[in-house]
Amino acid sequence: MRGNSVLLIIGGGIAAYKSLELIRRLKERGVHVRAILTKAGAEFVTPLSVASLSGEKVYDDLFSLTDEAEMGHIQLSRSADLVVVAPATADLMAKVANGHANDLASTALLATDKRVLMAPAMNVRMWNHPATQRNLATLKGDGTIFVGPDDGEMACGEFGPGRMAEPLTIVAAIENALAAPGPLAGVKALVTAGPTQEPLDPVRYIANRSSGKQGYAIADALAHAGAETILVSGPVSIAPPSRVKLVKVETAREMLAACESILPVDVAVCAAAVADWRPETAANGKIKKSAGAPPPSVALTANPDILASLSKGARRPQLVIGFAAETDNVIQHAQDKRARKGCDWIVANDVSPSTGIMGGDKNTVHLITANSTEDWPEMDKKDVGARLAARIAETLKGKAA
């Protein structure tokens, strides 16, 4: 980290006191720190304390002619290697997510061309509010990196997520963000994840038990390795990884359309559990049951084959990877699927109920290629993602479009 420069934006919240320790820890590691102190932040820490620890002038006024002459907000926002917002309040997140620029902090964030790392801190109810969660998703989609918040007791006496991450945790996240470009720098990756939901009527649908955890872990690992990663996800209940652009879909047809709109890419990882069939006709109103009447019959029709479409299309990625979730003859079925779909690799696993893989945090996979079968030991899904990303980097080395 030595020799790098960080622009620290201190928002208004009781957690602002941790920003002083953060500055001290960064200075210990040879990081040059400039700080913007918001008006609300100055209610909790003083400009003098921030300046004393950083060894730099503290910036706080968008309309200061002296500051604009010495270090304009454009230059201030672009002179650092990384912009860090700690604490990132609900107000600051909302401003950036919606493109507001009415003070020095929000203007600098809107004007920067550098990566932004936010450490949120707020009341648990504010954090869980739909508006904050919408802003969080928007910011992540724009490439903002997040660290925290942690669970714990708040200054207000409530308990839950909302505590700002500890200074050393933020330092580790900064170090990671400032790291040299990963092995997949310059690579564009597409990942599909989660189930699809095929509507029977406005309130019912056909789906499966996929949690999306493995696909999300793969997207996170690819982004961590430096790839520009787009995640096309069916409905899941997990937060998207940082630095990953999220595209939400529901049906298989929507997922295929989203994937085709993202092409060309260097690598496509089709980890989604796409429904093979959908109701031929979805009812416009809720299907009602009548006493004594037999249940309605549902005619099914085939969904588009996303893996085969990407593998055999005119804009085929250099590397196409599919998944095979099987309950018997896992390797044989996976080998057959790889040949049938035309993809390069298949990641196969046994999803029998006794394995606990569907919805669980661990996975045991077999990597099927044209020439070999690799049996990987049981590991966390995050580790499966990291190992697969490493294999992708090894294969695509020097071949990115």
pTM value?
0.61
Q: Are residues 129 and 203 in the same domain?
A: no
Q: Are residues 162 and 206 in the same domain?
A: no
Report the pLDDT value the prediction gives residue 398, as an integer from 0 to 100. 52
Does 371 fall in a domain? yes
**80 or 167, greater pLDDT:** 167
Report residue 10 CA to chain centroid gap. Answer: 24
pLDDT band at 74 (very low <50, low <70, confident <90, very high): low
Handedness of CA 26, 31, 36, 42 (dihedral sign): positive
Does 182 fall in a domain? no
Q: Are residues 171 and 274 in the same domain?
A: no
Rounded mean pLDDT, 338-355: 90
pLDDT band at 94 (very low <50, low <70, confident <90, very high): very high
Quick one: DSSP state of residue 294?
Answer: P
User: How many domains would you assign to the chain?
Assistant: 2
Q: Are residues 124 and 213 in the same domain?
A: no
Does 20 fall in a domain? yes
Q: Is 168 helix (H, G, I), strand (E, B) or coil?
A: helix
Does 104 fall in a domain? yes
Phi/psi zone of residue 349: left (φ > 0), alpha (ψ -120 to 50 degrees), beta? beta
pLDDT band at 159 (very low <50, low <70, confident <90, very high): low
Residues 6+ apart with CB under 8 A from 376: 364, 365, 366, 367, 384, 387
Last residue of a domain, one of 110, 143, 177: 177
Does 71 fall in a domain? yes
Catalytic residue among 156, 259, 270, 343: 156
Q: Are residues 208 and 334 in the same domain?
A: yes
Last residue of a domain, one of 126, 149, 177: 177
Q: Are residues 277 and 152 in the same domain?
A: no
CA-to-CA distance for 15 and 17, rounded, in angstroms? 5
- Cβ atoms of 198 and 279 within 8 Å: the answer is yes
CA-to-CA distance for 114 and 95, rounded, in angstroms? 18
**183 or 334, greater pLDDT:** 334
Q: Are residues 193 and 282 in the same domain?
A: yes
**327 or 348, greater pLDDT:** 348
Rounded mean pLDDT, 365-388: 92
Rounded mean pLDDT, 298-322: 95
Report the pLDDT value the prediction gives residue 66, as an integer from 0 to 100. 55
| Domain boundaries, position 278 | 188-396
Does 24 fall in a domain? yes
Does 260 fall in a domain? yes
175, exposed or middle or buried, with CB in 10 Å at 0-12, 13-18, 19+?
A: middle
Catalytic residue flag (residue 343) = no
Show contacts of 244-250: CB within 8 Å, 24+ apart: 244/140, 244/219, 244/220, 245/141, 245/143, 246/137, 246/140, 246/141, 249/196, 250/196, 250/197
Q: Express each pLDDT in 30-46 by its tens digit.
A: 888 999 999 998 888 99
Domain with 358 in it: what CATH number?
3.40.50.10300
Q: Are residues 211 and 83 in the same domain?
A: no
Domain with 155 in it: what CATH number?
3.40.50.1950
Q: Are residues 163 and 210 in the same domain?
A: no
Return the closest-CA partner of residue 250 out of 233, 266, 237, 238: 233
Last residue of a domain, one of 144, 177, 210: 177
Q: Are residues 168 and 206 in the same domain?
A: no
CA-to-CA distance for 136 and 143, rounded, in angstroms? 11
Q: Are residues 13 and 123 in the same domain?
A: yes
Does 401 fall in a domain? no
Number of H helices, E strands in the chain: 14, 22
Q: Are residues 287 and 340 in the same domain?
A: yes
